[in-house]
Amino acid sequence: MADHYDQKILALLVDDARLSVSDISRQVNLSRSAVTERIKRMEDNRTITGYHAHTSVSKEDGVTAYLALTFRPLSCDLVQPLIDAIPEVKLAHSISGDLDLLLLIQANSMTRLNVIRSEMDSWPNLDKVVTHMCLANRLDRW
């Protein structure tokens, strides 16, 4: 279980995954070796699952949208390879409630978003798609 040092280390890495062990050790008041051991343990137990470079589409030209999908019957496993084939899909979550699948799409243009959306019409057992356009980014901790 993560203690307060692990939580501090995680928070620092979430904020900036490129922080050096030396910088982290200074900020949490632990030795470099202790920080290295804690990070290694969190990687081994899959608390930390990776370090990522996040890309951004142009703020002027890019669009972000959530697509809420409903299948009849449920077909999330059938469409997983189709989701994997679209690089603009940044998140895909099976969810409870009236919806089956929620996708976060970051496309470089409305035209590309429309192409992605149109291609989904051929997905197996797709009953309904609702598009929710993102107007403003309020918080991004990814």
Spell out the domains of the chain, with CATH numbers in brackets.
4-44 (1.10.10.10), 63-133 (3.30.70.920)
How many Cα atoms occupy the beta-carbon half-sphere of 77 within 13 Å? 2
Residue 14 to residue 10: CA distance in whole angstroms:
6
For residue 108, the number of C-alpha atoms closer than 13 Å in the C-beta half-sphere is 3
pTM for the full model?
0.62
- Decide: helix, strand or coil at residue 86: coil
Strand 89-94 and strand 63-71: pairing? unpaired
103 three-class SS:
strand
pLDDT averaged over every residue in the chain: 89
* Confidence band of 139 (pLDDT split at 50, 70, 90): confident
- Whose tokens are 């290694």? That residue is 40
User: How confident is the model over 11-63, as pLDDT tens digits?
Assistant: 888 888 899 999 999 999 999 999 999 999 999 998 888 887 766 555 456 89
